Structure 1
C-alpha cells in the first residue's frame, strides 16, 4: 500500500532487462548449420536432430557437442541458433530454451513504481542473451554468439536504442538496463561487468540460483551422471558426462573453485577413505592441483579413458586437452576472484531441497587383500548401483590387487537440488533465501522468486528515478 494522496506521475519510463540463461538454456547449432540442441522446436528436422542427442552414447554425444574423434574442444564449433520471427523473437527470445518463455512473457509487462507520493508507470522490456554454454563464460561474455548477432555489449546497446525509439513514440524516458541471470548465466554477467569492465553499461545485476563459487554437484554429475532431462544431453553416467562436459571449459567453470565454502563455511568439500581407515579431506588450498588434475586416485574428477574413447582410448592426449580447458576455467575463476560482482548486485538462492555441499567417499565392502599403507588407486568403472562404484585398486607396492565397492554420499545440505545455499549466500552481496522449495532449473517458476525479482527491479527503478 502507498500513502495517500497518490496519483499517477506525469513521468513514465521504459526499463530494458537483459536475461541471461543457464547452462543448456540456449539452442545451439554446429558449423554445418545443424541444430544440435533445442527441445520443443517446431521444426521437424531440427527437433529430430536435437532429439538424436538424447539417445546417443558418450562418443555420439561428444561428436555433436565437441566434434569428431580427431577433434578437441573449439569454442567456435557451436553457436546460438536463433528463431527469428519478428517482435520478441528478435530480442533474443528465439535462441532460448522454451521453458524460460512463460517467465519472460510474465515479466515483460507494465508495473507501477512508487516515487515520493505518486506512481510511475514502468514498462519492462525484456531481452535475452543466449550463448554457447560449452565455452568459457568469459568467451561467452565477449564474443559474438553467431554470424547474425553480436556479443553481449552489442545486445545491451541494441536494447537501449530500441527502447529509446519506443520511448520517443509513446513519450517515455528510458532507464539504464538491468541484467537478470539464471544459474551459469550469472558467471557470464560477472565476466561482462567485472572482467571486461562493462559495469557502467548497466544499473545493476540480479542473479537467480547462481553457483557463485561452484557447486559439488558438478563433481558428482561428472562422476555419476546427470538426472532427469539433462541426462539426455550431457549424459546419464560417467562415460557420457566425461565425454561431453569433461571436454568443455564452460561446464568445468561450475566446479568448486578455491573460494568455495559449504553451507557450514568449510573449505574442504571432498573426503576419501585411506587404506588404513583414515579419512582424507580436500582441498586444503587448491582444488585444481589437489583434485581436478589427479589422474590416478579413485576420487579424481576425470577418468581419462572416458574423454574420447572412440579416438583416444588410453586418454593420454585427451587428458592433456582436458587440462587446457581446466586452465581456462582456473584463469576465469582467478580473474573473478572472491569479489567479482557488479557493485549493485542482488541474489536469491534456494533452501528447500537437499543438495550436495560436499562429497564423501566410503568403502562399502572390498574383496582381496587390503594394502597396509598408501592410498587407494585404480580405474573406476560405471556406478554399480545408485551412488556406488566398483573399482579395481592397487596397493602401494603395485601388486596387491583387489576389488572395492565405493559409495558416494548423497545430498546433505539446504539448496535447490543443484546449487547449495552456501554458494548463493556467501558472496558478500545482497542475498536472500527463497524457502518455497524452488527447483534449480525451474527457479523462475517459483512465485516467491518471481515476486522477489520484481521487487528488486522496482527498487532499482526507484534508485534511477531518485538519482535523475
Structure 2
C-alpha cells in the first residue's frame, strides 16, 4: 500500500488523489465516518484507479540555496496560490540545474513521486546520495560499511564489504529510480508494468549515450511478489543483476485473513494506531468491500507453502479444529457454509442494500473467479522461485524473553476461541446461522462471532432478572444465548504484519539473509536496514564486472 493512487481520468488536468502517503496525516480523510464500506468499494476499485506520480519526495537542493529561496519567496500559510506556484517553479529550476538531474533526469521523472514519501522518501534520498554524491568520499556512507559485520544469519559469501568491492562505484553510475504500482490489482499485472518500466529506463540511458544493460531491484513487502513474478515467470531474470527483498511475505500472511474478519488491529492501543485502523479499515465490512475485489490484496493470503492448520477453531469445551487440512482455497477462501470463512458473502457488495439474490450470486462468482484465476494461479506460479542473486531481511523481535513486544506481535496463526455467552433477551446479536441469505449480524463485524449452540437443560433454564436501571423499573432478562467466538490478538513474532515463518526465505534461495528488529511499514527507515540494502547493492554490483555488455574497451 506504499504506492500513491488516483482515480483514472481521460483529462490530464483533472485529478482525484485517492491514496497519497506524503505524511502521517495524508490519508486522514479515510478515517472520517463517511469513508464507509460503500465509499471504499466505489473508490478503491482496481479497475478505476491508477498510479499517482504527483506525491511529494525529497528534492536535492543545497541547504544554503533552499534557505535563500525561502527568504526570497517567504512562503507561509498566508501565501497566495500565485506566490506558491512561483516558488515551486523557482525550486524546479534550481533542481533542474543540479548535476544529478542532468545525468539521470529529475527525481519526479524517476518515479519518486509515485511512492509513499512517508515510507521511502528519506531512504531514497539517502540511497541516491550514497551511490552518487558520496560514493567516493573517504568518510562516506559506503566507505563506512567496509569491514562492518551486520550479523547475518545466512550468507554464501564473505559477509563484510571489502575495499576492493567499492571499485565498481568508481567505474559506473547508479541512478535510483522508484516505481509505484496499483496494489489493488493483480501483482502479475504490476509485474508486466515493471517490465515496461525497466525497458523504458534502459532506453532512456542508452539514448543519452550510457551503457545500461541490467538493473538491481530493491523491494518492500508486496513489491517483492511483483519482482519475483517479473523475474521468474515473465522472464525478466536476464534483465536483473540481483534483488534485495525487505520484509517480503514470501508465502503470505495470516493477517490478511484476520483483517478481513475484524478490521485492522491496533497492537499498541495508542492514538496513532487508532487513526491507522480508521484509515486502513475499521471492520470486516470495510476490509471486505475493498480486499474481496482486489487480486493484489488477496494474493497476500497464506499460500499452501505457508503450511496447513494456521486457522484454529477452539470451542467452549476445548475441542479444536484446524484448517486448512489440504487446500486453503476451497476450505477457507471460497468456503460459504462456515461462520469462520474468509468472506461473509453479504459483505462483498455494500451497494446491494436490498439483498438482490441475483446480484448476490454474481458478486460471489466474481470473488471465486479472483481466488482461482488470480490468487491460486499467481501463488502457484511463483512458488519456490527467486532470482539466484537474492538478498533478504525480515522483521524479528530478538530481544524478547517471554513475550514479543507489542509492535512486533504478528498473526502467524489465527485463533477463534469460544465461550458460553449471556446477554439480554431480544438485544443480543442473532447467530449468523439463523439469518437469511448467509448474512452476519451488523453488530458482529469485528472480533466476535456468535453462533447457535446446543445448551444443556441447566443452561437453557438459566436467566437473570433485574431492573433496567435508575428510574426504569421494567424487568429485563439476561439468558444464555449460545456460543461466542472471539478472534484472538496476534501473539507470534515478526514485523507486525509478516510472521517469521513467511519472512524467512529458505537458505537455498538466498545469498544473504538478516533478521532485523524492524516493523513492517517503516522498515526502510531503520539505519540498519539501509546499511544492509546498500551493502547488498554493492555486492550485487560486482556482477557488472562480469557483464560483457557493460565492459569498457581498453
Written as runs of structure 1 = structure 2, the 5 A alignment for 1:189-200 is 189-200=227-238
Which one has the largest radius of gyration? 2
Q: Structure 1 pair 25/118, CA: closer, same or farther in 2 (3 Å)?
A: closer
1:30 Cα deviation (Å)? 3.0
Aligned to 1:133: 183
Question: Structure 1 residue 95 and structure 2 residue 95: aligned?
Answer: no
Find 1:408's aligned residue among 483, 487, 492. Answer: 487
TM-score w.r.t. length of structure 1:
0.78
Q: Structure 1 pair 275/295, CA: closer, same or farther in 2 (3 Å)?
A: farther
Aligned mates of 1:442, 1:117 — CA distance in 2: 29
Aligned to 1:119: 167
1:309 Cα deviation (Å)? 2.0
Q: Deviations over 1:35-91 (max 9, x none)?
A: 2221438xxxxx99x65444211111111112xxxxxxxx43211122297711011
More strand by share: 1
Find 2:44's aligned residue among 65, 88, 96. Answer: 65
8 Å CA contact 1:205–1:344 kept in 2: the answer is: yes
Aligned to 1:78: 49
1:181 Cα deviation (Å)? 0.6
8 Å CA contact 1:360–1:409 kept in 2: the answer is: yes
Aligned mates of 1:388, 1:138 — CA distance in 2: 32
Find 1:256's aligned residue among 296, 299, 302. Answer: 302
SS at match of 2:385: coil
Aligned mates of 1:130, 1:230 — CA distance in 2: 21
Aligned mates of 1:281, 1:97 — CA distance in 2: 38
Question: Structure 1 residue 158 and structure 2 residue 137: aligned?
Answer: no
Aligned mates of 1:52, 1:223 — CA distance in 2: 23
SS at match of 1:91: coil
Aligned to 2:336: 295
Aligned to 1:108: 128
Find 1:185's aligned residue among 208, 223, 233. Answer: 223
Written as runs of structure 1 = structure 2, the 5 A alignment for 1:10-25 is 23-25=1-3
Q: Deviations over 1:95-128 (max 9, x none)?
A: 1122111111111133357574973425431111
Q: Deviations over 1:361-413 (max 9, x none)?
A: 11133349xxxxxxx9565546769x7404243669xxx99442212222222
SS at match of 1:410: coil
Aligned mates of 1:80, 1:271 — CA distance in 2: 38
Q: Structure 1 pair 382/204, CA: closer, same or farther in 2 (3 Å)?
A: farther
Runs of 5+ unmatched residues, structure 1: 1-22, 42-46, 67-74, 143-150, 262-266, 369-375
The alignment yields a C-alpha RMSD, in angstroms, of 3.1
Aligned mates of 2:447, 2:514 — CA distance in 1: 32
SS at match of 1:415: coil
8 Å CA contact 1:36–1:53 kept in 2: the answer is: no
Q: Deviations over 1:294-340 (max 9, x none)?
A: 12322111111111122255443322221121121111111112x12
Find 1:322's aligned residue among 355, 363, 367. Answer: 367
8 Å CA contact 1:383–1:390 kept in 2: the answer is: no
Aligned mates of 1:348, 1:359 — CA distance in 2: 24
Q: Deviations over 1:257-286 (max 9, x none)?
A: 11114xxxxx32111135764201111121
Misfit runs of 4+, over 6 Å: 382-385
Aligned to 1:391: 450
SS at match of 2:217: strand
Aligned to 1:4: none
8 Å CA contact 2:310–2:412 kept in 1: the answer is: yes
Runs of 5+ unmatched residues, structure 2: 56-91, 93-104, 137-141, 143-161, 266-272, 398-407, 424-431, 461-479, 549-554
Find 1:360's aligned residue among 409, 415, 418. Answer: 415
Aligned mates of 2:433, 2:318 — CA distance in 1: 15
Aligned mates of 1:78, 1:212 — CA distance in 2: 26
Aligned to 1:37: 19
1:157 Cα deviation (Å)? 2.1
Q: Deviations over 1:425-448 (max 9, x none)?
A: 14442252333x211000100111
Aligned mates of 1:383, 1:458 — CA distance in 2: 54
Aligned to 1:309: 350
Aligned mates of 2:19, 2:278 — CA distance in 1: 11
SS at match of 2:306: coil
SS at match of 1:108: helix
Aligned mates of 2:165, 2:332 — CA distance in 1: 58
8 Å CA contact 2:261–2:342 kept in 1: the answer is: yes
Aligned mates of 2:44, 2:191 — CA distance in 1: 20
